[in-house]
Structure 1
Amino acid sequence: MNRRTSREKALQAVFQVDVGKSDPENAYRHVLGKDSDDVFLKKLFFGTVEHLHELDQIITDHLENWSLDRLANIDRNLLRIAVYEMKYMEDVPYTVSINEAVEIAKRFGDEKSSRFINGVLAKVMETLGK
């Protein structure tokens, strides 16, 4: 499966854990379906879930006039995945992580999601300094 598809599936699984309170293993298996294990998806999803509190703090530090719990569910979980990718997946350039998150936001979020995601991730990129 290509990385865009893996990111979309990671978003679906993180959403299930966050909003549906699903068990991470069950959420992963559900989005994987009949596909075989995907190394990128597995690392992205389980890494995001494992570092949730740290990722939430990074996101919160870069929100202006917003709180994490006020964000749309899609936006919050997409930010979590993108920040994880930027912080922990050194083989992916920041600009790729941001672009992918923006494109996925256009597909799954509302009309303002992509600009919002782009703005927050640009600030995160400055902080992480790559």
Structure 2
Amino acid sequence: MGARTKYRKRALDVLFESEMQGLSLGGSLPERLVTNHPPINAYTVTLVEGVAENQERIDAVLSQHARGWTLDRMPGVDRNLLRVAAFEILFTEDVPDAVAVSEAVELARELSTDDSPSFVAGVLGAVIEGKAAQSA
């Protein structure tokens, strides 16, 4: 597992944990930074804070492209994987869109349901198409 893959997985852990504890998105990050177990890298912090700061826009984009699925109805792992990847697609310049999708699909394969990898790939493909249409 590559370094950035680990950082994405840690970001997913923090986001999922925050939801399960009824905290705001990323609300468990300060405690995780204090304990630093497992270690929290700067890129993990960037992802968690970026998702939290842009949650409204990210969730709106995901809702638009997740045909037939509301965010609340999605498995928590899928929802937060999509948020991390959508943040990288929409708000970062140093991660190619295809890498964000590939990483999210691989984590979905490892951590979620059998149907999740294709679902995640489909939603993120639509996000990329929507981004391209807005740029044109």
Confirm or deny that 1:102 pairs with 2:114: no
Unpaired segments ≥5 residues, structure 2: none
Aligned to 2:21, the other structure's residue is in SS state coil
- Please give the per-residue CA displacement for 1:20-73, whole angstroms capped at 9, x wherever unaligned: 2243433542784153x5221111111111111111101001011111111111
User: Take 1:11 and 1:81, find their aligned partners in 2: how far apart are those partners?
Assistant: 7
User: Take 1:34 and 1:16, find their aligned partners in 2: how far apart are those partners?
Assistant: 13
1:34–1:60 CA distance, 2 compared to 1 (3 A): closer
User: Take 1:30 and 1:83, find their aligned partners in 2: how far apart are those partners?
Assistant: 27
TM-score (norm 1): 0.90
Q: Give the conservation status (yes or no) of the 8 Å contact 1:9–1:32.
A: no
TM-score (norm 2): 0.86
Alignment of 1:46-125 (within 5 A): 46-125=49-128
Which AA in structure 2 matches 1:127? G
Moved over 2 A (4+): 21-32
Which AA in structure 1 matches 2:79? R
Aligned to 1:25: 29
Q: Give the conservation status (yes or no) of the 8 Å contact 1:106–1:114.
A: yes
User: Take 1:71 and 1:30, find their aligned partners in 2: how far apart are those partners?
Assistant: 31
Aligned to 1:126: 129
Identity within the alignment, %: 30
